[in-house]
């Protein structure tokens, strides 16, 4: 699923009372779910019948516990007439067979019940005052453990079942569910039963279905498997095609990159109110309807939409085909889906786009780690599974994957990833499975990397200083993050230093950082023009390095990478010096990459100086990139200045401005 915003107070990640969480024991392992759903879209109720087939993994297994919240008129029977008893407390359904099952024996149980407008998991909707033309609908949204609010199941990723889903609804409505369509049957009362089947094993949180008056947009096929998109009126087919049109191209990219075909019978996507983000349900991805964009919004935010599309699609492999054993290992799906956003940009838009995306990931992770809490990426100690889905999990894990890729090299890394996807397809996975796949391909023992970067909290804080005398340039680097109370130690990593000599020639050097202090010494008759720490932004770190205004200004305009120019701009503006801010203003006008201009605008917004206010006033009228316009307007919100207000108002009055930038401008005024 996409990134969600979580709000925590500064301090520890979990409460002191939090217990370590593990996958449940499954002596009677769920094997197949046969679901029949008959909803009443006007009354917001549904009749449900579920037949669950289990396989005994333990001699004499006789007890099955299912999740199910607030079911009405529940009955539980064994269709094979094995004697059983059961109890229900409104949360758990406990079933006990009189005789235990033999190993590999199948046991079936049928549960019949009703649900009345469930508080979660299954959502009804239709026309309202804001959208009187909206169609009636029913949709599901289950992550992390919300299927239980309408579906009797073992509501945990480790329980994976094949599916038959039968849904009876008015025949003029769309009826879509996980898997492939086997057929449908019309009834005399104007309803139709559609039968969907999934041979792929599916955990409860990835089961999905929709019923309703949806607009349908067919988009051909990918490798013979249909692509289609759905949304509710007044959204149109054109809106759907504009929003999700790159889907086929993305599928081609991922199947090639991962060496694995699309494993599902279809790739459908739908949008509905209240989803909140997007979710990677097997073969039926869900979106909040706010993601379906008109042409004006798409010009400004279409790039973000594409990244979310790619993110959810990446879960086809990382999360859906390879299912996490338990939530401690959620990074194996969310960090991977996040990192593949950057890999997609690398292939389709170039290195600058990838490096800027990774910069945003690093910044988002550091904000949480520095200001809220710091935790290991892999941890069993949490208060709820939902809590795991934070900035450590998404960008924090993604930037670690990029570091690992850089250390191993592209060939070894991607071959190891393909081995992992192939060998664990249709299985559950833990972090050690991924580590061992890379070790087998690379011949390297990666336990130290995983212990430091995945199983331990924190990240490197680097303090660098530059000295030049007696014909030697010395760059000293110190790790300052060690904190025994937080269990944060020193990290081991390669740190690249790029140097532009006085003659304009570039060289690159690597420091193997392991101890607290390291130094790079190079013969140099004259002081270098540029010294750039981690020029490609590979290492997840925070850097304190002030090489002097002269060098920073050169890096600002002549730095060879996005990361270098971003660091120079931020450091110059932070100095508060008028000359430094004017240098950033001039560099902004010549900067070719939009992402660097966005970060320059953000830095100016945080400067709280008259020079920064004047810079914004000069830059706003000339910027034409919608994403940068939004950043400039957000920066303008930090100042109370009548001349800047006039500039913002004049910009607005020009008309046909992007939605988001317009909103930020209004806030600024």
* pLDDT tens readout for residues 99-137: 999 999 999 999 999 999 999 999 999 998 988 999 999
Contacts (Cβ under 8 Å, ≥6 apart) of 428: 157, 158, 160, 322, 323, 324, 325
pLDDT in tens, 369-394: 999 999 999 999 999 999 999 999 99
- CA 423 to mean position of chain CA atoms: 24
Distance from C-alpha of 222 to C-alpha of 515, rounded to nearest angstrom:
51
Residue 9 is predicted with a pLDDT of 43
Residue 4 is predicted with a pLDDT of 52
What b/e readout covers 485-502, taking b as 16+ CB neighbours within 10 angstroms? Answer: eeebbebebebbbbbbbe
Q: Which residues pair with 322 in a beta bridge?
A: 318, 427
Angle, helices 578-590 vs 594-605, to 10°: value is 150
pLDDT in tens, 330-379: 999 999 999 999 999 999 999 999 999 999 999 999 999 999 999 999 99
pTM of the predicted model as reported, rounded to 2 decimal places: 0.96
Least confident of 126-135, 205-214, 616-625: 126-135
Please say whether the beta carbons of 526 and 470 come within 8 A.
no
pLDDT in tens, 249-302: 999 999 999 999 999 999 999 999 989 899 999 999 999 999 999 999 999 999
Percentage of the chain lying above the pLDDT 70 cut? 98
Distance from C-alpha of 546 to C-alpha of 519, rounded to nearest angstrom:
16
User: Side by side, which strands form the sheet with 122-125?
Assistant: 122-125, 137-140, 209-212, 174-177
Residue 269 is predicted with a pLDDT of 98
Sign for the CA dihedral angle at 174, 179, 180, 185 comes to negative
Please say whether the beta carbons of 335 and 400 come within 8 A.
yes
Using the predicted structure, report yes or no on whether residue 11 has a pLDDT greater than 80. no
Alpha carbon separation from 312 to 94, 175, 336, 527 (Å, rounded): 35, 22, 11, 49
Using the predicted structure, report yes or no on whether residue 6 has a pLDDT greater than 90. no
Using the predicted structure, report yes or no on whether residue 17 has a pLDDT greater than 90. no
Sign for the CA dihedral angle at 157, 159, 164, 169 comes to negative
Least confident of 291-295, 447-451, 558-562, 653-657: 653-657
pLDDT in tens, 137-169: 999 999 999 999 999 999 999 999 999 999 999
Using the predicted structure, report yes or no on whether residue 3 has a pLDDT greater than 60. no
What b/e readout covers 587-609, taking b as 16+ CB neighbours within 10 angstroms? Answer: bbeebebbbbbbbbbbbbbebeb
Using the predicted structure, report yes or no on whether residue 8 has a pLDDT greater than 50. no
Per-residue confidence band for 2, with pLDDT thresholds at 50, 70 and 90: low
Residue 656 is predicted with a pLDDT of 87
What b/e readout covers 623-638, taking b as 16+ CB neighbours within 10 angstroms? Answer: bebbbbbbbbbbbbeb
Residue 15 is predicted with a pLDDT of 87
Please say whether the beta carbons of 144 and 282 come within 8 A.
no
């Amino acid at each position: 699923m996409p990134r969600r915003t979580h709000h925590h107070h500064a301090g520890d990640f979990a409460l002191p009372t939090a217990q370590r969480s593990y996958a449940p024991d499954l002596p009677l392992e769920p094997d197949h779910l046969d679901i029949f759903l008959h909803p009443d879209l006007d009354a917001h109720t549904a009749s449900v019948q579920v037949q669950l087939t289990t396989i005994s993994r333990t001699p004499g297994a006789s007890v099955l516990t299912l999740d199910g919240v607030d079911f009405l008129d529940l009955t539980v029977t064994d269709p094979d007439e094995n004697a059983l008893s059961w109890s229900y407390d409104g949360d758990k359904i406990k079933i006990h067979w009189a005789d235990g099952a033999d190993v590999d024996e199948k046991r079936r149980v049928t549960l019949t019940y009703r649900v009345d407008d469930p508080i979660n998991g299954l959502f009804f909707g239709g026309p309202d005052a804001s959208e009187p033309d909206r169609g009636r609908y029913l949709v599901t949204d289950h992550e992390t453990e919300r299927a239980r609010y309408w579906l009797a199941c073992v509501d945990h990723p480790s329980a994976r079942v094949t599916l038959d889903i039968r849904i009876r609804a008015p025949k003029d409505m769309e009826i879509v569910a996980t898997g492939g369509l086997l057929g449908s049957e019309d009834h005399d009362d104007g309803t139709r039963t559609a039968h969907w089947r999934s041979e792929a094993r599916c955990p409860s949180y990835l089961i999905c279905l929709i019923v309703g008056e949806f607009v349908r947009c067919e988009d051909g096929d990918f490798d013979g498997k249909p692509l289609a998109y759905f949304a509710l009126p007044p959204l149109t087919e054109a809106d759907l095609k504009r929003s999700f049109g790159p889907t086929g191209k993305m599928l081609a990219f991922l199947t090639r990159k991962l060496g694995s075909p699309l494993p599902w019978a279809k790739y459908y996507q739908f949008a509905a109110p209240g989803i909140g983000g997007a979710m990677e349900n097997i073969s039926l991805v869900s979106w909040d309807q706010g993601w379906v964009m008109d042409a004006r919004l798409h010009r400004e935010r279409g790039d973000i939409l594409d990244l979310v599309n790619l993110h959810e699609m990446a879960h086809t492999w990382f999360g859906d085909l390879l299912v996490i054993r338990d939530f401690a290992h959620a990074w194996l799906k969310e960090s991977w889906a996040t990192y593949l956003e950057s890999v997609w940009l690398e292939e389709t838009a170039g290195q600058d786009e990838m490096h800027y995306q990774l910069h945003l990931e690093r910044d988002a992770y550091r904000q949480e780690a520095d200001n809220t809490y710091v935790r290991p990426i892999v941890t069993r100690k949490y208060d709820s599974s939902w809590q795991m889905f934070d900035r450590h999990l998404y960008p924090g894990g993604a930037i670690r994957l990029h570091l690992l890729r850089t250390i191993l090299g592209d060939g070894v890394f991607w071959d190891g990833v393909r081995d992992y996807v192939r060998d664990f397809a249709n299985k559950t996975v833990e972090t050690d499975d991924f580590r061992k796949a890379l070790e087998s391909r690379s011949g390297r023992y990666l336990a130290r990397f995983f212990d430091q970067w995945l199983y331990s909290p924190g990240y490197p804080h680097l303090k660098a200083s530059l000295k030049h005398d007696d014909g030697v340039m010395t760059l000293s680097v110190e790790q300052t993050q060690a904190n025994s109370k937080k269990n944060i130690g020193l990290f081991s990593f390669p740190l690249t230093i790029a140097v532009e000599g006085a003659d304009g020639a570039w060289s690159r050097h690597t420091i193997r950082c392991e101890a607290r202090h390291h130094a790079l010494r190079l013969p140099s008759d004259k002081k270098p023009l540029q010294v750039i720490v981690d020029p490609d932004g590979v290492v997840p770190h925070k850097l304190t390095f002030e090489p002097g205004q002269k060098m920073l200004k050169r890096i600002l305009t002549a730095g060879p990478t996005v990361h270098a120019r971003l660091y120079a701009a931020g450091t110059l503006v932070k100095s508060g010096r008028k000359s430094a801010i004017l240098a950033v203003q001039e560099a902004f006008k010549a900067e070719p990459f939009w992402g660097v201009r966005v970060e320059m605008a953000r830095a100016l917004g945080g400067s709280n100086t008259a020079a920064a206010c004047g810079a914004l006033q000069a830059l706003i009228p000339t910027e034409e990139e919608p994403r940068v316009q939004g950043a400039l307007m957000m920066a303008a919100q930090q100042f109370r200045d009548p001349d800047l207000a006039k500039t913002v108002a004049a910009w607005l009055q020009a008309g046909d401005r992007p939605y988001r930038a317009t909103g930020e401008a209004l806030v600024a005024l």
